[in-house]
Amino acid sequence: MANHKSSIKRIRQEEKRRLHNRYYAKTMRNAVRKLRATTDKSEATSLYPKVQKMLDKLAKTNVIHKNKAANLKSKLAAHISKLA
């Protein structure tokens, strides 16, 4: 158990931050899954900007790495271009 006031506060902050990051990471994964499952090109192209914005925001706040965001955006764009 932590002995200092500051370390007790730090534990509280880290737990709150961890739950926040987990929620947004899970939301992002679900959005990516939904876009990948889409077979309609027009629906996929309308979903893509929202997912792209979400990935950029999460990369900016270090919830995910910026290269991971770039890789996901690239893969999703390729997926959309392959749709008939």
Residue 75 lies in a domain: yes
Residue 51 lies in a domain: yes
Q: Residues 4, 20, 10, CA angle at the centre, nearest 5°?
A: 10
Residue 83: phi, psi to the nearest 5? -65, 145
Whole-model pTM: value is: 0.85
28-74 pLDDT per residue, tens: 999 999 999 999 999 999 999 999 999 999 999 999 999 999 999 99
CA 61 to chain centre: 10
Domain that holds residue 66: 39-84
Residue 56 lies in a domain: yes
How many domains does one find in the chain?
A: 1
Residue 73 lies in a domain: yes
